Structure 1
């Protein structure tokens, strides 16, 4: 990996909701921008490749005594994370900003669904620390971290959620931050745009993108002269790694931007959420 690594020790873990476990890491820590994430090496995948997962830091970011993340149990990397115990050592990257608060905003409107609460919690804690105007709307079946969000509008009902979230009457200078499943994020952002919100005041944190789709093609690597066959519904990254050609990468989900690679010809199919459409 091209980016510097950091060895961190698990200080403690505990459940914060059904299927959600909080993990605190200590070691060489840095202050970070609220809404940042860290990449954690979560063992290897079924093909023996390093598995990197990105997790949002939930603290306020200022001179942290520990890095705190919350992990929903699933398959692969998240299951590996749930097996961690105090004293275990993990490899991680340094914090990277993905959903930074706008310092000049007069009001911060924070919207989360499910485990998307993690970067939103970081924003909320920072707003509380620095006494900024903030409002939280959170829809979830298990409401992880509900106790950490005093004054938040929390519900498990979509109807109640939309009744409580008023996008048409917000203070001048408000910025909107959204994180959660893509359908809800898209609906929130669409309603905000329809209500006249400027794009520059709508911010989103994406956890994943759509799977690779498309027909087979041939990739010609200009510098080495190598030719690589890419199969149907296979990513170029997967094909390169299968050919023992390694390039910098992290998330494998089109979110972090670590594997951005220039091309000289052809029309690549972009499924990422990192590049702006104008860069495709």
Structure 2
């Protein structure tokens, strides 16, 4: 059983701990005690939860190769993944896992400003630990519905030291985060990292654009943001699969992944929402219409890779390395 990055393997549920109201941490270990694949702060793993595959950020210690830890919110609007982990999984059970994969890694910076909303604290927790381990100053603002719903509070406070600060901001006590005040504290070389619900991410993106911080903002989304169809509706396009020697038509109402699967061309996928990066594919020619939440603006502008589950084509024809 390999534990190399991007491999799929079975891990043992070693421990489950209540971290806050409706938030469980799940600790996973190799059933034979072998080391797991190394990871860096911001990474996530794909977890088979019942009939679903869901992405969960790793929130343990990147230096500990003996275990993975994830935080799982029992979300009422869940499509079944988190509910399955909360109600059906117990210590001693086995979960199929894939990864780790990282599209939210810390870039080298002189300082960091972290903003977390709710369960979005999971990747931010690991990032704050990593920044501190490298001697970098940071500030963290943690928002949530109530103080009782905000996970890993004691663990966050243990990280506080000179030039490192955590501010808890429960909505029922203080209202919404004052993003203008928070982001005004970013220095000229500070990078901003944000993870949380979509309204928070949109608000942070808008405020960073106003303050000239957009190129130093890094966000991770729980799900893909809605992208409006182009004027006149979606259009079909042609895809040449260079390695497979096939050329396909992708209809207005189907994804590239669906067209490939219908043609018997295998493509690895997980979320199918443009947030996990599993289906990232090299573009050899043509102009992608990027609709994912993984690639940065610069990476999208480069146009040399794309996520086939949600992105489309704005040039009429794509040549892909599949």
TM-score range, shorter chain: 0.7 to 0.9
Residue 148 (structure 1) aligns with = 155
Q: Distance in 1 between matches of 2:252 and 2:29?
A: 42
Indicate the SS of the match to 1:94: strand
Indicate the SS of the match to 2:177: helix
Task: Count the aligned residue pairs.
Answer: 270
Which range moved further: 149-158 or 83-92? Answer: 149-158
Matched, 1:58 2:59: yes
1:223-262 to 2 correspondences below 5 Å? 223=244, 225=246, 230=251, 232=253, 234-241=254-261, 245-261=265-281
Residue 80 (structure 2) aligns with = 76
Which range moved further: 217-226 or 161-170? Answer: 217-226
Residue 207 (structure 1) aligns with = 222
The alpha carbon displacement at 1:243 in A equals 6.0
Q: Distance in 2 between matches of 1:265 and 1:173?
A: 36
CA displacement 1:13-72 (0-9 Å, x = unmatched):
12222322210001131332111111122333xxxxxx4221100123113432110112
Q: Distance in 2 between matches of 1:263 and 1:189?
A: 28
1:1-280 to 2 correspondences below 5 Å? 3-27=6-30, 28-44=35-51, 51-73=52-74, 74-82=78-86, 83-103=88-108, 105-141=109-145, 142-150=149-157, 151-157=165-171, 159=175, 161-162=177-178, 165-197=181-213, 199=215, 201-210=216-225, 215=234, 217=236, 222=241, 223=244, 225=246, 230=251, 232=253, 234-241=254-261, 245-261=265-281, 269-275=289-295, 276-279=299-302
The alpha carbon displacement at 1:4 in A equals 1.8
Residue 48 (structure 1) aligns with = none
TM superposition score normalised by structure 2: 0.72
Q: Distance in 2 between matches of 1:231 and 1:194?
A: 36
* Structural RMSD (CA): 3.0
Provide closer, same or farther for how the CA distance between residues 219 and 78 of structure 1 changes in structure 2, counting only shifts above 3 A: farther
Give the structure, 1 or 2, with the largest relative contact order (CA under 8 Å, sep 6 or more): 1
Gaps of 5+ in 1: 45-50
Q: Distance in 1 between matches of 2:69 and 2:191?
A: 25
CA displacement 1:121-175 (0-9 Å, x = unmatched):
1112223444431211011112122222215211233745207843223344221
The alpha carbon displacement at 1:239 in A equals 4.8
